[in-house]
Chains A and B, each alone.
Chain A
Amino acid sequence: MTIPNEIQITPELIEAHGLKPDEYERILALIGREPSFTELGIFSAMWNEHCSYKSSKKWLRTLPTEGPQVIQGPGENAGVVDIGDGDCVVFKMESHNHPSYIEPYQGAATGMGGILRDVFTMGARPIAAMNALRFGEPDHAKTRHLVAGVVAGIGGYGNSFGVPTVGGEVEFDARYNGNCLVNAFAAGLAKTDAIFYSKAEGVGLPVVYLGAKTGRDGVGGATMASAEFDEMIEEKRPTVQVGDPFTEKCLLEASLELMASGAVIAIQDMGAAGLTCSAVEMGAKGDLGVELNLDMVPVREENMSAYEMMLSESQERMLMVLRPEMEAEAKAIFVKWGLDFAIVGKTTDDLRFRIFHGGDLVADLPIKELGDEAPEYDRPWRETGLYSPLPAQNIEEPEDYGDALLALLGSANNSSRRWVYEQYDTLIQGNSLQLPGGDAGVVRVDGHPSKALAFSSDVTPRYCEADPYEGGKQAVAECWRNITATGAEPLASTDNLNFGNPERPEIMGQLVKAIEGIGDACTTLRFPIVSGNVSLYNETNGEAILPTPTIAGVGLIPDWSHMATIGGAKVGDTIVLLGGDGTHLGQSVYMRDCLGRADGPPPPVDLNVEKRNGDFVRSAIRNGQLSACHDISDGGLALCLAEMAMAADKGMKVEIDCEIAPTHGQLFGEDQARYVVTISADMANFFCMSAEGAGVPFRQIGTVGDDQLTINDLLSISIEQLRNAHESWFPDYMDRDIAQSLID
């Protein structure tokens, strides 16, 4: 059988679809004929890097994905983790990098929309969001425009939809000049006995289209996301979709109502490659064929071709297999919420994916092979990074410690992110217990008297560049540590792997080693990966981003009246450093921002030490011993103390012993697995004895009080001065934009 082609399939057309000649040969061998134009589009949608994971699959399989708490690991719309009492948390992180660079507001907004849909497609009501953002250097011509647009887009969608944004990251580096990163995370709550999956069951059942109408927006988006950028980037703007958060909110309410009615057999959101991906996934998972009649698809533009309808990435749409006897009831729910509901096809028993349009058969493909037979590559790779040791003695000290600390606090990367997070609704739903600015965002579990969930998102790309294996480990360890610092038990994580072009062995090497590090860390810390996303080809004109494997995690607090915060220190409390003295300055922000260079290996992570120290801190928090807790990361002990002092609005008087190790290493070293805690003075000795018993290095370094942060005679800075430095960088930077545009 052949399907006549009005558009001739040429090598140029094949290339324009992101398919390599050998991949096209594979298509010919698979179907035994030339594909129709629509079929070529379907293959390009299913076989691009974004949808098929063809470069990363081999390595992703090595990640630990299981544990007694895991209900659903990778492979569904989102991961599902048990939190007891019949409740579960459903979460995932996903990138929207390429669209956000082309059109920041809508790119970021639809990134939020996509990740929220992933969560509520599984029957969960979204309760928290985070986002990890990375932009080019502040002085780059596009950076302000991207920051302003991305932040407004995330806020515009998330605030209107009604989910609190409780955490995230914002970082600047010249290596993101040509490719910003927008990684969006969402988590929802569901009942463990009411989770919905995408696997279709039953032959001859109606396939129903739900939500917003289909337009031409986003046609080819997933293919665009699987290619490098060049000067022609502006031409790709039409591939970016446009978000409608109000429709998404209605779709959420309608979907949850529909699920509660018992009408849903399987459901899948339409994300990348819209109708194509969702229909193939539902059929292939259930060992069923799917037949679609595009004449029934609700459209908002005239004369759309089958090709356009199959590849449209119009937002706020879902596909569902319906219990036929429930049709009237199901339709009534969608009509009530003002959304489209159309039966557009049926499941079949012949494992074919058939598309009819205007009475003609326009595609007839083997459904299993579309997904399962996608090319998979074992791409050549080589190890990169790996610096020889760089002891702190070989790195110069600052001339003035106070100036160095103020410089770090007021730097682009360590200053307060208030300008960003005040544009996000952090309070909606009324359950937020800890807001952005601390170690992790905390949201209580609605309907439960004492439980809460902690969320954090982390990665240190400069570490990953210097040593991808250690950097991968560190991303997991820091996420785990931030969650632990609230008193939560880290349950599981999601990974968003952002890298350059995997066809280059050094980039592939970064990916391979980072995944190995992530896997080792997740195994030792019992922090399995339950969902994730890979974004490759983050390159412009051949220059790749820093390797950025973002890790976002979820932890459980059984009783939030015993959680720790960064700002709880009380006057007279003893300050205790846990986990050892700082020594490691390689790849530190001190070197980068005060000395202007990057050198040396990143701080290594001893995973067993990380676990031991974290478990100790968590039990101390749960016993109600600590008044405040903060992990030590970028900027070392000095920045950690400054952040705690500002959050508590109280001074600290700290003494370190400059004889035991170089002073700048102690103050700015970024050695891992460390925390600063405060504890009432009468409990301090007892606490330190228990630390000793647990084998956790500890040191009493000072007391809380006064209105200065004082360290030996090295520095003494008022809280107000610290705050001025910390709070002013971001608003000053963004306001310069307005001032500048008035001059221009």
Chain B
Amino acid sequence: MIAALTKISGEPPITIWQTETEIPDVDLIVIPGGFSYGDYLRCGAIAARMPVMEAVRRKAASGTRVLGVCNGFQILVEAGLLPGALMRNASLKFVCKQVQLEVANADTVFTGQYRQGEIIQCPVAHHDGNYFAESETLKQLEDNGQVVFRYANGTNPNGSVNDIAGIINKNGNVLGMMPHPENLIEAAHGGNDGYALFSAALGIAA
């Protein structure tokens, strides 16, 4: 993720240690993937309770853009910044493969460089990406256009409800998603469908 952000923005991101309590003013806060604390206990549960997450919460409340990818999505959910839960994949196995995503809401600060309904490629790599929310929450998410990405064309790799791959908060500044757009940003990756998410979030031309 650091390499991808560096490549897209032209400069390396600031990295913040888990015990920090302040985050400087930035354009975008990214919580990357990566089995924080080994995913022991519950995915993202321990990281969500680290001191730095208080600072993330404050920044999110004041409108800073926050993107959580994979384990980052799990952490955002565990921290209560996004609703629902990420359960073990329906196959009960880790899955790493290319899937297709439908851009279900192109009217967000993260997806503005995609077209509404556009189908993009994106890899997934996770053991616990099976999104679930009880019906009331789910209805709100759908009604408010908070479902931003959906697995398309039968490629749902984990059994998540309504094929949900990524959701955004009500304020539209906190996005969590299981797929890894940072692993599809250049020809070497076999495509660059993930690039536009970062360029939009960072306010860079597509």
Contacts and interface: CB of A to CB of B under 8 A. Distances in A.
Nearest to A244: B38
Best-buried of B39, B96, B180, B183 by chain A (most CB within 10 Å): B96
B3 interface: yes
A427 B96 contact: yes
A160 B94 CA distance: 11
A428 B71 CA distance: 13
Given A160-B38, A245-B38, A425-B125, A430 B189 contact: yes
Given A423-B96, A425-B94, A425-B96, A246 B35 contact: yes
A245 B39 CA distance: 10
Contacts of A246: 35, 37-38, 40
A157 B85 CA distance: 24
B34 A427 contact: no
Contact of B183 (A421, A424, A427): A427
B38 A430 contact: no
A433 B94 contact: no
Contact of B123 (A156, A247, A249, A427): A427
Contacts of B180: 427
A119 B180 CA distance: 27
Interface residue SS majority, chain B: mixed
A430 B4 contact: yes
A505 interface: no
A422 B95 contact: yes
Contacts, number: 54
A162 B97 contact: no
Contacts of A444: 188
A244 B127 CA distance: 17
A116 to B, nearest CB: 14
B96 A422 contact: yes
B20 to A, nearest CB: 13
A446 B191 CA distance: 18
A138 to B, nearest CB: 19
A507 interface: no
B182 interface: yes
Contact of A428 (B40, B125, B188): B125
Interface residues of B, number: 21
Given A430-B3, A446-B3, A152 B35 contact: no
A293 interface: no
A433 B191 CA distance: 11
Contacts of B127: 159
A249 B37 CA distance: 10
A129 to B, nearest CB: 13
A524 B34 CA distance: 43
Contact of A162 (B34, B93, B94, B189): B34
Given A423-B94, A423-B96, A427-B125, A433 B188 contact: yes
Given A428-B125, A433-B188, A423 B35 contact: no
Best-buried of A426, A430, A431 by chain B (most CB within 10 Å): A430
Contacts of B95: 422-423
A245 B40 CA distance: 10
A155 interface: yes
Interface in A207-263: 244-247, 249
Nearest to B35: A160
A590 interface: no
B93 A159 contact: no
Contacts of A426: 96, 125
A427 B40 CA distance: 22
Nearest to A424: B96
A115 B73 CA distance: 31
A423 B93 contact: yes
A156 B123 CA distance: 18
Contacts of A421: 96
B35 A159 contact: yes
A91 interface: no
Contacts of A160: 35, 38-39
Nearest to A433: B188
Contacts of B39: 160
Contacts of A245: 35, 38
Interface string B1-15: 001100000000000
Best-buried of A247, A428, A433 by chain B (most CB within 10 Å): A428
Contacts of A425: 94, 96, 125
A668 interface: no
Given A162-B35, A427-B183, 7 more contacts: A155-B94, A246-B37, A246-B40, A422-B96, A426-B96, A430-B183, A444-B188
Which 9 residue pairs across A and B have the least CB separation, nearest first?
A246-B38, A160-B35, A425-B125, A427-B183, A423-B94, A155-B94, A425-B96, A422-B97, A427-B123
